[in-house]
Structure 1
Amino acid sequence: MSIGVVLEQLRGEFPDVTVSKIRFLESEGLITPKRTASGYRRFTDGDVERLRYILVTQRDNYLPLKVIREQLEAMDSGAVTAILSANRAAPMISPENFRAPVITRLTDSDVAEQAETTEDSVLELVEANIITPDGAGYFTADDVQVVGTALALKEFGFDIRHLKSLRNTAHRQAGLIGQVAAPVAMSKGEGAKQRAEELSQQMTALVVSLHASLVKTSLREELDS
């Protein structure tokens, strides 16, 4: 099948997949579609399943391409068997692969309803810049998740001041990652954006892991003191 047909098959599950993404994965050696005499790519059902495995693994497990390549090589050699379960474990963090959320147009009342809270609670988080509507005043599904998590923390005694501190920490961490990834994204050549995205995913996973470990260590010291 052509690359266009492949996109149609994958976009239902992976709305952000693009021709550039598929070409980038090919350039990295993760997929090897056949070529016609005139140079057009032709994919088999096996190629599509391989792509699906790569995209699922990136999205749900945040693994870098190097690790995914090693997994694929192990599968190709018969050392392990690929398992794609419909009941995958929840990812450690969201949103999917750190991409922008799928465009949605949620009002503050929609967010309140989906997060099972009041519009006043949503407005309080907006005023604190914990969530921010777009230029037209709408929110995304990610904002619903942030509201739900913020409210869960408030039940443990976290107030707006504490939530702002967490927000500021997240902004600083994102800024550090952006300093490394931005020059890659702006570099010339095909696949620059994909390389920057992959680099951002790797760094974000490492930063989140380090942050969690540091919090755990500090908390243990606090409780033992």
Structure 2
Amino acid sequence: MRHTPSGGAGSGTAAADNRLMSIGTVLNVLREEFPDVTISKIRFLEAEGLIEPQRTPSGYRKFTAHDIERLSRVLRMQRDHYLPLKVIREYLDALERGEEVRLPSLGRQQRDAADTDVLGGLLGDPVTPTVARIGHDELLAAVEISEEQLKDWESYGLLVPLADGTYDAEAVTVATLVAELGRHGIEPRHLRVMKAAADREAGLVDQIVAPLRRHRNPQTRAHAEARTKELAGLAVKLHAALVRSALGVRHP
């Protein structure tokens, strides 16, 4: 990927400096315009192919002024135009190929609706799956993540493949939320406490309905499934309410 100067507000400092810079220096430069940017965010954009910093023999990232200009443009397009990374990458790559392309526009209303859906899944009612299972490649494509990211999330138990290599329907929701949290600097290792809490909650629900599931009467077993869904929904709502209460956030 060939980086070229992109211009725009906030890039003058970077353009005037031709030295190779560490990720910490880059962070300080970017925070003048993007105070919420984090090192995790920069690493995530690199993993998504938006930038390609140089590497020292010991593996440290080194950024050029052009890298910072490109980062600034990516962050600006996310902030001002609410564009997904795939669209931004395709747009910038087309510009670097010398093509005349128009800036795509997702629109604030669409982006706000998407954000509401994500937050609703995290702090509101559980999302109802539309499919029973999803394949490995389908999951990668649906969430737009890399094989390396998926393996990393699996290593922390956030996603667990089934025996046949597929994933259950909730995998897309989980992966989407993990990716979204990652954009805010929350890494998979930080989510182990959430995973542990979810496992404990699931264990409690299972303990309550287990006697019903073992019953010979089919109607009783069917009642067990209904009770499981009901208790799961209540547990999710309670967890969301506790998180909102701890953070002092009002329910929308």
- The CA distance in 2 between the partners of 1:167 and 1:211, in whole Å, is 13
Change (3 A) 1:209 1:145: closer
Please tell me the root mean square deviation across aligned C-alpha atoms, in Å.
2.5
Matched residue type, 2:132: V
Which runs of 5 or more residues in structure 2 are unaligned? 1-116
Q: TM-score, normalised by structure 2?
A: 0.46
- The CA distance in 1 between the partners of 2:219 and 2:205, in whole Å, is 19
- The CA distance in 2 between the partners of 1:181 and 1:141, in whole Å, is 22
Match of 1:136 in 2: 164
- The CA distance in 2 between the partners of 1:184 and 1:93, in whole Å, is 23
Matched residue type, 1:102: A
2:212 to 153, 169, 184: 184
Q: Is the 8 A contact 1:185 1:193 kept in 2?
A: yes
| 2:184 corresponds to 1:156 | yes
* Identity, % of aligned positions: 23
1:124 to 152, 158, 161: 152
2:233 to 205, 210, 218: 205
- The CA distance in 2 between the partners of 1:183 and 1:209, in whole Å, is 25
Match of 2:126 in 1: 93
Change (3 A) 1:200 1:141: closer
- The CA distance in 2 between the partners of 1:112 and 1:96, in whole Å, is 17
Q: Is the 8 A contact 1:111 1:122 kept in 2?
A: no
Q: Is the 8 A contact 1:133 1:139 kept in 2?
A: yes
Which runs of 5 or more residues in structure 1 are unaligned? 1-88
How big is each residue's C-alpha offset from its partner over 1:18-61, in whole Å with a ceiling of 9 and x where there is no partner? xxxxxxxxxxxxxxxxxxxxxxxxxxxxxxxxxxxxxxxxxxxx
How much has 1:138 moved relative to structure 2?
2.5
How much has 1:145 moved relative to structure 2?
2.2
How much has 1:140 moved relative to structure 2?
3.8
How much has 1:201 moved relative to structure 2?
1.8
Number of equivalenced pairs: 128
Q: Is the 8 A contact 2:129 2:170 kept in 1?
A: no
Match of 1:216 in 2: 244
How big is each residue's C-alpha offset from its partner over 1:170-214, in whole Å with a ceiling of 9 and x where there is no partner? 100000000001111112323122110111122112211111111
Matched residue type, 1:211: H
| 1:55-94 → structure 2 map (5 Å cutoff) | 92-94=125-127
Change (3 A) 1:205 1:125: same
| 1:160-175 → structure 2 map (5 Å cutoff) | 160-175=188-203
- The CA distance in 2 between the partners of 1:96 and 1:193, in whole Å, is 22
- The CA distance in 2 between the partners of 1:114 and 1:202, in whole Å, is 28
- The CA distance in 2 between the partners of 1:138 and 1:114, in whole Å, is 14
SS at match of 1:93: coil
Q: Is the 8 A contact 1:128 1:164 kept in 2?
A: yes
Q: Is the 8 A contact 2:143 2:175 kept in 1?
A: yes
How big is each residue's C-alpha offset from its partner over 1:68-116, in whole Å with a ceiling of 9 and x where there is no partner? xxxxxxxxxxxxxxxxxxxxx988213449xxx6144x12x33211111
- The CA distance in 2 between the partners of 1:125 and 1:147, in whole Å, is 8
Matched residue type, 1:176: L
Matched residue type, 2:127: S
Change (3 A) 1:190 1:144: closer
Q: TM-score, normalised by structure 1?
A: 0.51
How much has 1:142 moved relative to structure 2?
2.4
